[in-house]
């Protein structure tokens, strides 16, 4: 019998000798614990679950100082884990006020006019996360439409991988019909050879514009703390922050030391992986920690790089050219495959070095060609020593075909996936990519059946609002997307890839915990694990399927402490 099994056997007897601090009872508890999948009550001592079982069993752990909480038959699930967020950037996007939801080009223009009235004349008007796939016109605005909203002003409608620039900004950057194409990018021109304002990729050119505002340490601390409170409101008790540098790590450390964290965070260290392979190796070796360093609140996670662009903007690197249905992206180039930001040899060096030093590695790959290249790099590392113990991961990996999935299974490679892209963008992408490629678009059913561990996440980047954010981070909205495969226009895309309710919940609980090597600490409600759980507004397993997306957190508990209680409940 293992030490963990002995612990489970002895704990009830030992626990009776010292009562629980608090007991939550009269509930419908979905534990995600194989030993007892359903329960009525749970007991907590300190920051751990003491016991889980029936009302009668658990109330025996009560002493005269034990607080008893009657949940009135409400449903309880383990603390929810979003495995792909960008909390600091999301909060900072609204530091100066809410960013409206923009569904049309007219909405974009209205936001530009609002900012023009507020900002100094020489200040760049920055419109965040404008995706053509989510605009009713199914195209980007042109430079002339930006000009009409704010004549003569510097305007940039951006999504991190592509931007539309106003005429004034193009002039400032000296971009004309004669400007040569930039490395790793494409300046889109009209039939007369004039720039339309749309620029794809080109991080060296556009990157400085995205960093015009100086972010301070205080800004980062405010952003992380503010966003964690919003995550608690949605039932999120843990997350994987998928992109920080030293400044972000210092902000988390300050909040940890002050005891102000309310979401456990596994923090990804992001590197560019540019230059020569030797420079990549040295960059990694200079980082003064490695995966796993930290504690139950803040832990060093994966090392990560960005391999390609995005499927929403036509810069994801594909296995074959995009083809002819690319009007939504603002270009026509039947031979174009997308953008690779990291040279092949650098990606190989990164994987090999990460494996040698003890890092878990992940990388952003949106297109199938980029995912294949990442798996090539993982195989190179795996030939030197197995990467399975490192739990190397693919972030996004939207088009894993049969061969890619088989390679992932062979090496023990994990995926963190975002069903929101299927829901919001599927109706447009199906016409871009065609049925053969779309058959492999976030194929959750196939991935789970073949033995790939998939964690659920949002890639939350903009806005505080859980359901109107880019991308929505409300876990039950995400689960509903994975369960129904229903898209924003009401259609069902690839229904054969639906997963069950319990499988969807597992993506946001145990699988998320596995991704951060913490499956023995969290992800289920069982004795000895950290006391993280959520009381929710509907019975997740029994409510009508279409009501899953509307489930709300009524009470969120992290570390045995109530961090959120819904007003009026």
**Residue 238 CA, distance from chain mean position:** 12
Estimate the share of the chain in helix, then strand, then coil, as percent rounded to the nearest 5: 35, 20, 40
Nearest CA among 437, 307, 314 for reference residue 373: 307
The answer to whether residue 231 scores a pLDDT higher than 90 is yes
Of these ranges, 4-13, 184-193, 363-372, the one predicted with the greatest mean pLDDT is 363-372
| Residue 239: predicted pLDDT | 98
pLDDT of residue 199: 93
Task: Report domain extents, the chain.
Answer: 3-78+528-565, 98-127+140-210
* Mean pLDDT within 477-492: 97
Residue 550 has pLDDT above 70, yes or no: yes
How far, rounded to the nearest angstrom, does the alpha carbon of residue 303 sit from its chain's CA centroid? 15
Tens of pLDDT, residues 441-456: 999 999 999 999 999 9
C-alpha to C-alpha distances, 562 to 82, 237, 320, nearest whole angstrom: 19, 11, 51
Q: How many CB atoms lie within 10 A of CB 260?
A: 12
Question: What's the pLDDT tens digit per position in 386-406?
Answer: 999 999 999 999 999 999 999
**Alpha carbon distance 375, 273 (integer Å):** 16
What is the predicted pLDDT for the residue at 328?
Answer: 93
- pLDDT confidence of residue 183: 81
Q: What does pLDDT average to over the chain?
A: 95
Report CA 239 to chain centroid distance, whole Å. 9
Instruction: Tell me if domain 3-78+528-565 and domain 98-127+140-210 are identical in fold.
Output: no
Superfamily of chain region 3-78+528-565: Urease, subunit C, domain 1 (2.30.40.10)
For residue range 400-429, what is the model confidence (pLDDT) as tens digits?
999 999 999 999 999 999 999 999 999 999
Which CATH architecture group holds 98-127+140-210? Answer: Roll (3.10)
pLDDT > 60? residue 248: yes
Contact 340, 290 (CB under 8 A): no
75/28 Cα distance (integer angstroms): 5
Q: How open is the CA angle 140-420-500, to the nearest 5 degrees?
A: 155
Q: What mean pLDDT is predicted for residues 242-269?
A: 98
**Average pLDDT score over residue span 315-322:** 96
217-252: b (≥16 Cβ within 10 Å) or e: eebbbbbbbbbbebbbbbbbbbbbbbbbeeebbebb
Of the listed ranges 26-40, 126-140, 229-243, 522-536, the least confidently predicted one is 126-140
User: Where do the DSSP E strands lie in 97-219?
Assistant: 125-127, 155-158, 162-165, 185-189, 195-201
Q: How far apart are CA 141 and CA 139, in angstroms?
A: 7
At 271-301, the pLDDT tens digits run: 999 999 999 999 999 999 999 999 999 999 9
> Where does residue 546 rank: exposed (0-12), middle (13-18), buried (19+ CB within 10 A)?
exposed
- Provide CB contacts within 8 A for 166, sequence distance 6+: 143, 146, 147, 150, 153, 154, 155, 156, 197
């Amino acid at each position: 019998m293992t030490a963990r099994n002995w612990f489970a056997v002895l704990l009830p007897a030992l626990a009776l000798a010292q009562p629980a601090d608090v007991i939550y009872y009269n509930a419908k508890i979905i534990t995600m614990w194989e030993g007892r999948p359903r329960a009525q009550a749970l007991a907590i001592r300190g920051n751990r679950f003491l016991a889980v079982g029936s009302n009668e069993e658990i109330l025996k752990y009560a002493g005269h100082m034990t607080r008893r909480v009657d949940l009135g038959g409400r449903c309880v699930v383990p603390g929810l884990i979003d495995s792909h967020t960008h909390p600091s950037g999301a909060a900072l996007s609204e530091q100066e006020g809410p960013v409206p939801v923009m569904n049309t080009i007219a909405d974009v223009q209205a936001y530009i006019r609002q900012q023009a009235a507020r900002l100094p004349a020489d200040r760049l008007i920055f419109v965040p996360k404008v995706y053509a796939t989510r605009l009713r016109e199914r195209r980007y605005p042109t430079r002339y439409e930006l000009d009409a909203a704010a004549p003569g002003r510097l305007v940039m409608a951006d999504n991190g991988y592509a931007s539309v620039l106003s005429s004034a900004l193009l002039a400032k950057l000296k971009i004309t019909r004669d400007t040569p194409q930039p490395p790793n990018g494409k300046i889109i021109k009209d039939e007369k050879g004039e720039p339309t304002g749309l620029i794809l990729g080109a991080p060296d050119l556009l990157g400085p514009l995205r960093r015009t505002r100086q972010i301070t340490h205080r800004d980062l601390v405010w952003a992380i703390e503010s966003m964690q409170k919003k995550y608690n409101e949605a039932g999120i008790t843990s997350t994987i922050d998928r992109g920080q540098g030293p400044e972000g790590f210092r902000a988390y450390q300050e909040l940890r030391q002050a005891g102000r964290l309310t979401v456990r965070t596994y923090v990804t260290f992001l590197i560019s992986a540019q230059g020569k392979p030797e420079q990549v190796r040295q960059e990694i070796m200079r980082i003064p920690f490695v995966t796993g360093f930290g504690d139950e609140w803040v832990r060093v996670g994966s090392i990560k790089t960005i391999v390609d662009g995005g499927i929403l903007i036509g810069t994801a690197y594909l296995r074959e050219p995009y083809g002819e249905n690319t009007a939504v992206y603002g270009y026509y180039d039947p031979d174009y495959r997308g953008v690779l930001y990291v040279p092949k040899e650098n990606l190989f060096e990164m994987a090999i070095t990460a494996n040698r030093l003890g890092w878990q590695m992940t990388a952003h790959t949106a297109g199938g060609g980029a995912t294949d290249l990442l798996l090539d790099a993982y195989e190179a590392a795996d030939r030197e020593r197995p990467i399975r113990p490192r739990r190397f991961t693919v972030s996004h990996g939207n088009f894993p075909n049969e061969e890619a999935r088989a390679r992932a299974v062979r090496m023990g490679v994990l995926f963190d996936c975002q069903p929101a892209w299927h829901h919001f963008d599927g109706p447009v992408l199906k016409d871009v990519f065609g049925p053969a490629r779309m058959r492999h678009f976030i194929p959750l059913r196939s991935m789970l059946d073949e033995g790939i561990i998939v964690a659920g996440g949002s890639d939350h980047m903009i806005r505080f609002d859980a359901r109107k954010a880019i991308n929505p981070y409300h876990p039950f909205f995400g689960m509903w997307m994975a369960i129904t495969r229903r898209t924003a226009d009401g259609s069902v895309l690839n229904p054969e890839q639906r997963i069950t309710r319990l499988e969807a919940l597992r993506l946001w609980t145990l699988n998320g915990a596995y991704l951060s090597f913490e499956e023995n600490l969290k992800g289920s409600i069982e004795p000895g694990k950290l006391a993280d759980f959520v009381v929710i507004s509907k019975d997740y397993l029994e409510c009508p399927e279409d009501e899953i997306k509307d489930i709300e957190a009524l009470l969120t508990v992290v570390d045995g402490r109530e961090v959120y209680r819904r007003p009026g409940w």
